[in-house]
């Protein structure tokens, strides 16, 4: 059976990559250009992982009134989930002793 011709697959002209905001997930305009050549994985407190063009340990992204802090991924835990050593450890309230 002959192969079906698909001009999108056969062309050297490719569709531009769509970039998304790490805080809200909305598509960014195509005129947003990268600031450097580092591509690092970042994780939010909720566990959402995104790849951004930065080499900072923590990034604050402000979208309207909401500010989201992303932490650079430094490894994986025993469940093969990505973790960050820059993420603050939540404090457990101490139980009063009687």
| pLDDT at position 32 over 70 | no
Average pLDDT over residues 87-95: 77
Tokens representing residue 7 in the block: 């001009």
The predicted structure's pLDDT at residue 23: 66
Residue 8 has what pLDDT? 67
Indicate the pLDDT class of residue 72, thresholds 50, 70 and 90: very high
Average confidence score pLDDT of the chain: 78
Closest CA to 52 of 69, 67, 65, 66: 69
55-67 pLDDT, tens digit each? 889 989 888 888 8
Domain ranges of the chain: 37-86
Residue whose C-alpha is closest to residue 68's, from 54, 53, 47, 84: 47
**Is the model's pLDDT at 34 over the cut of 60?**
no
């Amino acid at each position: 059976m002959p192969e079906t011709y698909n001009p999108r697959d056969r062309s050297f002209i490719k569709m531009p990559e769509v970039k998304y905001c790490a805080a809200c997930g909305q598509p960014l305009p195509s005129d947003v250009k990268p600031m450097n050549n580092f591509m690092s994985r970042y994780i939010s407190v909720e566990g959402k992982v995104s790849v951004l063009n930065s080499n900072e340990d923590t990034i604050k992204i402000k979208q309207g009134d909401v500010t989201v802090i992303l932490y650079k991924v430094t490894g994986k835990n025993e469940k093969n989930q990505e973790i960050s050593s820059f993420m603050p450890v939540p404090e457990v309230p101490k139980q009063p002793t009687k």
